[in-house]
Amino acid sequence: MTELQQDQAVIPLRPLAAADFDQWKEQAAPAQVQWAEGSGFKASPGQSCAFPAADGKPEFWLFGVEEQVALYRLAALAASLPEAVYRLDSTWSRQDRAQASLGWGLGSYCFDRYKANNKSRPLLLLDEDIDSEVRSLHHAQCLVRDLVNTPTEHMGPSQLASAVQRQADAFGGETDFVVGADLLTRNFPAIHAVGRASDQQPRLLEMTWGDEDAPVLSLVGKGVCFDTGGLDLKSAAGMKLMKKDMGGAAHALALARLVMEHRLPVRLKLLIPAVENAVSGNAYRPGDIIPTRKGLSVEIGNTDAEGRVVLSDALAYACEDQPDLVIDFATLTGAARIALGADLPPLFSNHDDVARAIQQAGDEVEDPLWTLPLYQPYRKLIESPIADINNSGSSAFGGCITAALFLESFVETQIPWVHIDTFAWNQADRPGRPQGGEALGLRAVFKYLQSRYR
Q: Residue ranges per domain, the chain?
A: 11-123, 135-453
Per-residue model confidence (pLDDT) at position 120: 84
295 close to 384: Cβ distance less than 8 angstroms = no
Per-residue model confidence (pLDDT) at position 415: 98
The reported pTM is 0.96
Q: Is 278 exposed, middle or buried (0-12, 13-18, 19+ CB in 10 A)?
A: buried
So what CATH class is 11-123? alpha beta
Per-residue model confidence (pLDDT) at position 5: 55
Strand partners, 390: 299
Residue 400, CA atoms < 13 Å, CB-side half-sphere: 25
Per-residue model confidence (pLDDT) at position 201: 98
Q: Is 116 exposed, middle or buried (0-12, 13-18, 19+ CB in 10 A)?
A: exposed
Per-residue model confidence (pLDDT) at position 133: 98
289 close to 202: Cβ distance less than 8 angstroms = no
Per-residue model confidence (pLDDT) at position 1: 62
Q: Which residues are catalytic?
A: 234, 308
Give the whole-angstrom CA distance, residue 196 versus residue 273: 13
- Vertex 356: Cα angle to 337 and 224 (nearest 5): 40
Give the whole-angstrom CA distance, residue 291 versus residue 322: 22
Question: What CATH number was assigned to the domain covering residues 135-453?
Answer: 3.40.630.10
Q: Would 11-123 and 135-453 be classified into the same CATH topology?
A: no
* Neighbour count for residue 73 (Cβ, 10 Å): 28
Per-residue model confidence (pLDDT) at position 445: 98
Alpha carbon of residue 44 to chain centroid: 31
Q: Which stretch of DSSP H or E encloses residue 63?
A: strand 58-65
Q: State which residues of the chain have pLDDT below 70.
A: 1-7
Q: Beta-strand (E) ranges in 210-362?
A: 216-221, 223-227, 267-277, 289-291, 297-299, 325-330, 346-349
Give the whole-angstrom CA distance, residue 259 versus residue 113: 27
Q: Which of 45, 121, 127 is nearest to 88 (CA)?
A: 127
